Structure 1
């Protein structure tokens, strides 16, 4: 379906095809009162990668400039396409690369910053959005189904997302997960925006982030300060000192009592967040990185939202992890906080009370993969990696549909192992402790 531009191109000649990209910068999006033939759209040639039941994001950068790195913001325009035609006006934004280790892949992610707040696919309006490539996960769904799980378990905020196909400068880039960025906002992480409120991300040594302030606790944990955006040295000292005090507390006998612990950290969010990490066996979830938390002065620390699960459910770099054994519980705060039966009994109870939600993840995975199967033909035509297996890819497949069997089989085995651990008599369980 090759698209030609209609009239109202701000004085651009329809015959000047070679100047088309430059001309696109000279018009304004029409208002609802404009006539139908005044509607304009970005160029899309989907003859090689046809519509496959997912809406498309068509993005055109200024002068067709490449998105080369994670720092340089490139002016661009974006339009949503349905099956046969555009379904939005053209939106102004800046685009840059995103991700750390995923940036090394051929299909990398993008960060979108719109000129004005926009509501995309019914999600609350905001300027900041991400496009996750999910290339290390050949099923493409691990992040999505984990967010569904967190929502079903009652997380206060879970980043909303939809799957889309992306065309950048008329080149097909594949299936992406358009997802809300994690930020302080009434519709996202709903805490006050002040120097008494902090949104933090536990990170690792290999993470590069030149935008946010950071600090190390005395225990050696590295945190980025996502909010406030420009903390003073005093603000940084305040949050660092609080986490230093907390990390000293969790090593004390008092931390083995849930009532005492709840004065420092929201206990329900701790148990829920830990079990999501443990259930998925997320390789970043053993208190390594992509661990979000918030703290408002004179209030308990709150863990969440969940983020970054493309290497989970058995996936690791170049190898498949067993569905057995504890993982998240062996490291960081989790190892210290659940090193008492009194605290760990709440993990057992949460697993028992929410068993149905964890069981539902396998069905969620299978249904989401079924829904993506038509578009996956485009994805793996553009990126023919399904049957490849090397350091970044732990599995190989003949067909995209086969990823469902592999993923759901691992989930079912993981549930069986956790059942044996968490629902069995105390003396026979909790082997990591």
Structure 2
């Protein structure tokens, strides 16, 4: 395309956009973007407008909306219809919070497999923006069957710039996500702290479990899973739980070891109480995962910094009993030793990725000036620069690896 032709096309587009800023359409063919205050930062921009500019007030009401993907100068997609609502637990109470997207049709976004359901994660607590990404990719490199894919984007909602977000696959059953059968005896469920209208139950350990699949689980399905979890919790408290051959009939030991080490490596605040997913199929073993929600990890905490020393979830819940089994302890230690270089490679991932986020960090901390904040919820540590926040993350990881080497 000649330079003159490109300029004419750009001017026409800008004129059309300006018209749309002043008009309301029921089904727009083009969504406007004004990036004069927050310049292009080498990341895709998601432009979302709700119908009649309705506000998103809660996590229950699905608000109809339109979405268009922008590149540097012009849109790179058509306008797509979807619904949007709030998402998150404590994160939804923050000034910058996340959103749940559900498209009218399955969409492949930025090369990720087609699906209707996606999440926009605000990563407001994580001043490096990297903790979810490095954790999900670590799980993938360690051989997890599925770890959520994500892409960094900038979000414009109802013509307001909202900053950097992670467009992330949601945890759900599907061919390219959690690939288990969709029937009444195959389960994707979550340990959580928040009750909802989904089928749920408290275990004998008083863990609250919520069933995500099958959806609207009937009483028979609920009882099947509940009885199995109660039986497992009873088993690990008996002498038979000290027998490794018996234990392997209940859990996928490699899967449990991997999940535990990822959570302990990151010292995930939510790793032992919520956002903890499991799968189980009748006549099979329990599996942990997929991994999810690593905003409060690698030293970041709502109220204080977490040191790189000490165990975080190993001595609680199911883990407290599993680690009484000497053979299980040995398997966990061997997994760490066999995959030590993979855990170390997280530092290389950070070095590759963070320079690509420096431009967007300028936009983010202009929109949300919290980089130096350390005295108000939810921030426990402030930094003088984005690079300093990344260096702090790397330093913590180095110390964590050294501590785990000495104490596993």
Considering the TM-score relative to the shorter chain, is it more than 0.5? yes
Kindly tell me: are residues 15 and 152 of structure 1, through their superposed partners in 2, closer, same or farther at Cα, counting changes over 3 Å? Answer: closer
Q: Are 1:387 and 2:376 an aligned pair?
A: no
Post-superposition Cα deviations, 1:143-187, rounded to whole Å, max 9, x if no partner, equal: 110001001100000011110000001100110010000000011
**How far did residue 17 of structure 1 move?**
5.3
Post-superposition Cα deviations, 1:239-269, rounded to whole Å, max 9, x if no partner, equal: 1011000010111222223321111111111
Q: Are 1:250 and 2:251 an aligned pair?
A: no
For the residues of structure 2 that align with 1:60 and 1:283, how far apart are their CA atoms?
34
Q: Residues 5 and 41 of structure 1 are in contact (CA less than 8 Å); yes or no, is this contact kept in structure 2?
A: no
For the residues of structure 1 that align with 2:277 and 2:319, how far apart are their CA atoms?
14
Q: How does 1:249-398 map to 2 (within 5 A)?
A: 249-285=235-271, 287-390=272-375, 391-398=377-384
**How far did residue 4 of structure 1 move?**
3.9
TM-score under structure 2 normalisation?
0.94
Question: Where does residue 49 of structure 1 map in the other structure?
Answer: 38
**How far did residue 392 of structure 1 move?**
1.3
Q: SS where residue 345 of structure 2 aligns?
A: helix
Question: Where does residue 3 of structure 2 map in the other structure?
Answer: none
How well do the aligned residues superpose, as a CA RMSD in angstroms?
A: 1.6
Q: SS where residue 385 of structure 2 aligns?
A: coil
Q: Residues 258 and 267 of structure 1 are in contact (CA less than 8 Å); yes or no, is this contact kept in structure 2?
A: no
Question: Where does residue 230 of structure 1 map in the other structure?
Answer: 216
Q: Residues 293 and 303 of structure 1 are in contact (CA less than 8 Å); yes or no, is this contact kept in structure 2?
A: yes
For the residues of structure 2 that align with 1:16 and 1:126, how far apart are their CA atoms?
29
Q: Residues 162 and 178 of structure 1 are in contact (CA less than 8 Å); yes or no, is this contact kept in structure 2?
A: yes
**How far did residue 338 of structure 1 move?**
1.3
Q: How does 1:12-31 map to 2 (within 5 A)?
A: 18=22, 20=23, 22-23=24-25, 25-26=26-27
Q: Are 1:411 and 2:368 an aligned pair?
A: no
Q: How does 1:56-205 map to 2 (within 5 A)?
A: 56-204=45-193
Matched residues, number: 397
Q: Which runs of 5 or more structure 2 residues have no equivalent in the other structure?
A: 1-9
TM-score under structure 1 normalisation?
0.89
Q: SS where residue 263 of structure 2 aligns?
A: helix
Q: Residues 193 and 228 of structure 1 are in contact (CA less than 8 Å); yes or no, is this contact kept in structure 2?
A: yes
Q: SS where residue 335 of structure 2 aligns?
A: helix
Post-superposition Cα deviations, 1:70-104, rounded to whole Å, max 9, x if no partner, equal: 01110000011001111111110000000010011
For the residues of structure 2 that align with 1:163 and 1:68, how far apart are their CA atoms?
24
Q: Residues 100 and 208 of structure 1 are in contact (CA less than 8 Å); yes or no, is this contact kept in structure 2?
A: no
Q: Residues 20 and 32 of structure 2 are in contact (CA less than 8 Å); yes or no, is this contact kept in structure 1?
A: no
Kindly tell me: are residues 5 and 247 of structure 1, through their superposed partners in 2, closer, same or farther at Cα, counting changes over 3 Å? Answer: farther
Question: Where does residue 35 of structure 1 map in the other structure?
Answer: none
Question: Where does residue 399 of structure 1 map in the other structure?
Answer: 385
Question: Where does residue 196 of structure 2 map in the other structure?
Answer: 209
Q: Residues 202 and 288 of structure 1 are in contact (CA less than 8 Å); yes or no, is this contact kept in structure 2?
A: yes
